[in-house]
């Protein structure tokens, strides 16, 4: 019974969260200076990546309680990242990779100046965004299986969830480092 409730909640969140984020991105609120947020949410991604690796180490060393706590903190940091990221994007104009004169237009000279780095940035950004949506049900199902002490099922899901979540956390930092020179 409890498992069915969790499943319905996970399926709902896996659909609703990305849809709400997309809808919120269409909203624009003026008058707030949120330029301080990107380094904070990049840091939450970096800490999440480190905690995920420590959580892996903890479970490999049979420290289940530490593993649980680290995963819970990682989930919290991921939620914090999402909230800060949305807050930044609904209160600010889009930042364009390569827009060195900060006019909101990527001119040919600017595009030439960044060259293939722009393509690399876009590949990392697109995979980061796509996998951040894909990972939601994986992480939630893995967490549910862990809570319900269904360890074999938990391990099967984690084989997919862990590397995707780690990739999303690490690429979040990389995306920030690459785009940060173009913040104004």
Q: Residue 44 domain-assigned?
A: yes
16 occurs within a structural domain: no
Residue 132 inside a domain? The answer is yes
Other beta carbons less than 10 A from residue 159's beta carbon: 10
> How many independent structural domains does the chain possess?
1
Identify the residue whose tokens are 């996970």: 10
Residue length of the chain: 184
What is d(CA 116, CA 97) in angstroms, rounded to the nearest whole number?
12
- Answer whether 0.75 is exceeded by the pTM: yes
State the average pLDDT over residues 172-184.
93
- Write the pLDDT tens digit of every residue in 40-90: 999 999 999 999 999 999 999 999 999 999 999 999 999 999 999 999 989
**How far, in Å, are 11, 34, 82, 142 from residue 145 at the CA level?**
14, 37, 23, 5
Q: What is the mean pLDDT of the chain?
A: 94
Tell whether the model's pLDDT for residue 28 goes beyond 80.
yes
What residues make up the domain containing 153?
32-182
- Tell me whether residue 5 is in a domain: no
Instruction: Kindly state whether residue 152 falls inside one of the protein's structural domains.
Output: yes
- The C-alpha atoms of residue 8 and residue 30 are separated, in whole angstroms, by 37
The confidence score (pLDDT) of residue 149 equals 95
Residues 6 or more apart in contact with residue 135 via CB below 8 angstroms: 161, 164, 165, 168
Distance in angstroms (rounded) separating the CA atoms of residues 144 and 10: 9
- What CATH number did the domain enclosing 108 receive? 1.20.120.80
pLDDT at 3: 87
* DSSP-based helix, strand, coil % in the chain, nearest 5: 80, 0, 20
In tens, the pLDDT along 103-131 reads 989 999 999 999 999 999 999 999 999 99
Residue with tokens 């809808």: 23
């Amino acid at each position: 019974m409890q498992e069915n409730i969790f499943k319905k909640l996970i399926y709902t969140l896996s659909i609703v969260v990305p849809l709400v984020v997309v809808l919120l991105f269409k909203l624009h609120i003026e008058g707030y200076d949120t330029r301080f947020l990107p380094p904070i949410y990049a840091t939450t991604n970096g800490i999440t990546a480190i905690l995920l690796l420590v959580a892996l180490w903890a479970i490999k060393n049979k420290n289940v309680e530490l593993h649980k706590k680290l995963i819970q903190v990682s989930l919290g940091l991921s939620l914090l990242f999402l909230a800060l990221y949305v807050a930044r994007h609904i209160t600010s104009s889009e930042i364009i990779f390569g827009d060195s004169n900060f006019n909101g237009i990527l001119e040919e000279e600017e595009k030439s100046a960044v060259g293939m780095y722009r393509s690399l940035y876009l590949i990392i950004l697109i995979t980061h965004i796509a996998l951040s949506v894909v990972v939601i049900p994986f992480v939630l199902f893995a967490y549910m299986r862990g809570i319900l002490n269904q360890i074999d099922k938990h391990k099967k899901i984690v084989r997919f969830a862990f590397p995707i979540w780690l990739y999303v956390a690490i690429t979040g930092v990389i995306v920030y480092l690459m785009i940060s020179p173009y913040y104004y």
